[in-house]
């Protein structure tokens, strides 16, 4: 009996020890599973990216942010900081943070478009972005953000362009249709037929000009003007621009004067440069009252990247308000639509000038004051080596006796306060 009792006691003790050992082993294994490995931790204690992910994120054009379980930023691209998505090691955009939390909870990929306030402008501008959130492993969440602001702006410009073209084409074509009906109804009235036919000619000319300017705008946007570039004398550009507007200027008794163009050359497409300068001079004449003056002056400007040729067109017209000044180079934008209809303007001339200047490596700027006039300045790279800068000299006149020109009273580059 005593032997059996001893055996039973020994078996009970052995079973107890086995249970204790098994429980301790289970605890130890569970703790080992929870313990981070060297590959799952960065030196700073945060969760590390899976192998190869860092390399992939570095070549993506999208802004990338990787979040850990506590919504801390594990990895963020420089573009993400530039867009203001990450601040102080945290994701600063609440809607994106909510998307990341939902994805971490259910593992579903989410995508959406957001309008974010643009930092640092102070003008209430918004940043249009597309955000896509996906799980990255079992603990991390990847956020990819695309900046759609420029794409939306281009799409808005395209829509406006199509709408404006449709409107501008519809106006003269509608007028031609009505006038043709009027001619048919007045077939027995020669004076009415002559009057309506004159109006039809005006509308046909306006339609032709619009179509031609659309073609010119398309050409300067799509062509590389430097493929057929050649040295172009500034004196020739100024002379052709004046010739182009001589009739309009003569009918309004507007004096045109030129200065400083002799000996200057630019490198570019001669046809495009003539058209751009001609548009500036034509606008100056069209928007100037009778018995005023339009001046075209050129000079060389020293520049670190090479000398520039500056051609300024100054008028004594109605001027441009400050709010309109930023938009005058937009397609179809006109400061005074009623006056543009009277002068036959299409609103494309300055847009063409802007594209020609940019494609030739230059720029066009405007100074204006309401009631005092405007100065449009076209700057283009000079041809060849740096030459000795000219200082003054007599005004350059075309050499013919058609139209009024001043030869000794025109200041080619007056200070703004000196403008009449």
Domain with CATH 1.10.287.130 in the chain: 149-222
Q: What confidence score (pLDDT) does residue 298 get? A: 92
Q: Is the pLDDT reported for residue 390 higher than 50?
A: no
CA distance 282 to 342: 14
CATH 3.30.450.20 is right for the domain spanning 53-147: yes
pLDDT mean over 128-148: 88
User: Taking the chain, what is the end-to-end CA distance rounded to the nearest angstrom?
Assistant: 132
Q: What confidence score (pLDDT) does residue 280 get? A: 92
> Which residues are paired to 267 by β-bridges?
231
Domain with CATH 3.30.450.20 in the chain: 53-147
Cα dist from 144 to 38, 51, 90, 112, 281, whole Å: 27, 19, 15, 11, 50
Q: What is the DSSP letter of 378?
A: E
Q: What is the DSSP letter of 118?
A: P
pLDDT confidence bin for 47, thresholds 50/70/90: low
Q: Is the pLDDT reported for residue 1 higher than 80?
A: no
Least Cα distance to 38 among 28, 48, 53, 51 occurs for 48
Q: What confidence score (pLDDT) does residue 356 get? A: 87
CA distance 395 to 309: 17
Q: What confidence score (pLDDT) does residue 385 get? A: 34
CATH class of the domain whose range is 149-222: mainly alpha
The alpha-carbon radius of gyration of the chain (Å, integer) is 37
Q: Is the pLDDT reported for residue 413 higher than 70?
A: no
Domain with CATH 3.30.565.10 in the chain: 225-418
Condensed to tens digits (0 to 9), the pLDDT of residues 70-121 reads 888 888 888 888 888 888 888 888 889 899 899 988 889 999 888 887 765 4
CATH of domain 225-418: 3.30.565.10
CA 190 from chain centre, in angstroms, equals 53
Q: What is the DSSP letter of 50?
A: P
Q: Is the pLDDT reported for residue 36 higher than 70?
A: no
Half-sphere exposure of 204 (CA within 13 A, CB side): 9
CA distance 109 to 144: 11
pTM of the predicted protein model? 0.52
Write down how long the chain is: 420
């Amino acid at each position: 009996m005593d032997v059996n009792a001893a055996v039973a006691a020994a078996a009970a003790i052995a079973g107890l020890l086995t249970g204790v050992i098994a429980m301790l082993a289970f605890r130890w294994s569970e703790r080992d599973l929870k313990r981070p490995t060297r590959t799952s931790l960065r030196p700073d204690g945060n969760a590390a990216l899976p192998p190869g992910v860092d390399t992939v994120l570095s070549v993506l054009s999208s802004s990338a942010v990787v979040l850990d379980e506590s919504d801390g930023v594990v990895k963020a691209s420089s573009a993400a900081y530039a867009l203001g998505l990450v601040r102080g090691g945290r994701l600063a955009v609440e809607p994106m943070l909510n998307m990341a939390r939902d994805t971490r909870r259910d593992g579903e990929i989410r995508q959406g478009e957001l309008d974010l306030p643009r930092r640092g402008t102070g003008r209430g501008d918004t940043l249009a972005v597309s955000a896509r959130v996906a799980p990255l492993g079992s603990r991390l969440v990847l956020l990819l953000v695309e900046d759609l602001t420029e794409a939306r702006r281009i799409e808005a410009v395209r829509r406006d362009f199509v709408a404006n073209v449709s409107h501008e084409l519809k106006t003269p074509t509608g007028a031609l249709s009505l006038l043709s009906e009027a001619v048919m109804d007045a077939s027995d009235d020669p004076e009415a037929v002559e009057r309506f036919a004159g109006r039809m000619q005006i509308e046909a000319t306006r339609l032709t000009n619009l179509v031609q300017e659309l073609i010119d705008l398309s050409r300067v946007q799509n062509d590389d003007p430097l493929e057929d570039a050649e040295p172009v004398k500034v004196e020739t550009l100024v002379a052709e621009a004046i010739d182009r507007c001589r009739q309009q200027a003569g009918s309004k008794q507007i004096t045109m004067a030129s200065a400083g163009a002799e000996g200057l050359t630019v490198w570019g497409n001669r046809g495009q440069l003539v058209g751009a300068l001609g548009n500036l001079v034509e606008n100056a004449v069209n928007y100037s009252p009778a018995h005023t003056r339009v001046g075209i002056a050129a000079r060389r400007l020293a520049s670190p990247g090479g000398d520039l040729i500056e051609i300024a067109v100054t008028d004594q017209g109605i001027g441009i308000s400050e709010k309109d000044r930023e938009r005058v180079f937009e397609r179809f934008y006109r400061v005074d639509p009623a006056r543009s209809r009277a002068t036959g303007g299409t609103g494309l001339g300055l847009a063409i000038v802007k594209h020609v200047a940019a494609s030739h490596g230059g720029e066009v700027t405007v100074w204006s004051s309401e009631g005092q006039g405007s100065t449009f300045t076209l700057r283009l790279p000079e041809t060849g080596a740096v030459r000795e800068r000219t200082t003054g000299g007599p005004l350059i006149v075309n050499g013919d006796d058609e139209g009024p020109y001043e030869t000794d009273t025109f200041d080619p580059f007056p200070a703004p306060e000196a403008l009449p």
